[in-house]
Amino acid sequence: MEAHTAAGAKLKARVDAGRWIVDCDCGAGNSTHPEWGIALCYGCGAVREKVKFPKEWKGVEKELLRRPETVTRNWLSGETVAALKRENAEHGVGND
Ligand SMILES: [Zn+2]
């Protein structure tokens, strides 16, 4: 199998259980990170060179890291930092 650069629109990253990922067309979840900006798929060989991250990604990480359970550290594209703060407050996750 040959690696190929995936064409088309930028994939939007999301956070799943504390990890930045993108959903590949083949169905695999590929690890990524705002500081990398790329994702590689070990399922189909796609190379994604333009993954889209939120401008406020550090704020997203800050709020998610307040959550003691890793499985609850989830974020979807479009969710605001304010929404994460509100969810944290609703679940008794304290601020600084
Ligand atoms: Zn793939």
pLDDT at res. 1: 52
Residue 51 inside a domain? The answer is: yes
Nearest to 31 by CA among 44, 52, 16: 16
Residue 30 inside a domain? The answer is: yes
Question: How far is ligand 1, taken at its centre, from the CA of residue 35, in Å?
Answer: 21
Structural domain including 78 reads 4-90
Q: Contact at 8 Å (CB) between 87 and 72?
A: no
pLDDT at res. 8: 56
Residue 71 inside a domain? The answer is: yes
Residue 96 inside a domain? The answer is: no
Residue 76 inside a domain? The answer is: yes
Eight-state DSSP code of residue 34? T
Tally the domains of the chain: 1
Residue 48 inside a domain? The answer is: yes
pLDDT in tens, 10-64: 789 999 999 999 999 999 999 999 999 999 999 999 999 999 999 999 999 999 9
Higher pLDDT, 85 or 4: 85
By CB atoms closer than 10 A (0-12, 13-18, 19+), residue 4 is exposed
Residue 95 inside a domain? The answer is: no
Question: How far is ligand 1, taken at its centre, from the CA of residue 5, in Å?
Answer: 11
CA gap 28, 82 in Å, rounded = 30
